[in-house]
Amino acid sequence: MPEQFGRQIAGFQLIQTKLVQMLGEITKTQLLLIQLGRLLERGEATPGMTAYAKLSATATAREVAATAREILGGNGILQDYEVMRHLCDIEGVYTYEGTHDINTLVVGREITGLRAFT
């Protein structure tokens, strides 16, 4: 565990707050994906549900990776901790999974019934 001022950084209140928030977001995303899997197995999932799961999961991964990099400060960009590699990897996923914006438009179409793109 990285240290700052002679103590493990996980012992600082602000760091623990960030860790709890990260865990909460990851847990919510896992529950969303479990539910989508159940709906897919029953043949009840819609394209909008799948698009929402993609955009939500990739946004959460991006946010959590950025927070992890932030927690490590300057060390977060070093190869020693690999956080920056994860952050770069998720940027690719965020972009190529139909892109975040296109998935958003798919969900918007499903909830409004109106196409915002052709």
Residues annotated catalytic, as ranges = 97
Nearest CA to 70 out of 92, 48, 87 is that of 87
What are the C-alpha distances in Å from 87 to residues 2, 33, 81, 108?
19, 21, 12, 27
Q: How far apart are CA 7 and CA 57, in angstroms?
A: 33
Nearest CA to 26 out of 68, 55, 60 is that of 60
Helix axes 47-71, 83-96, angle to 10 degrees: 160
Query: SS3 for 7?
Result: strand
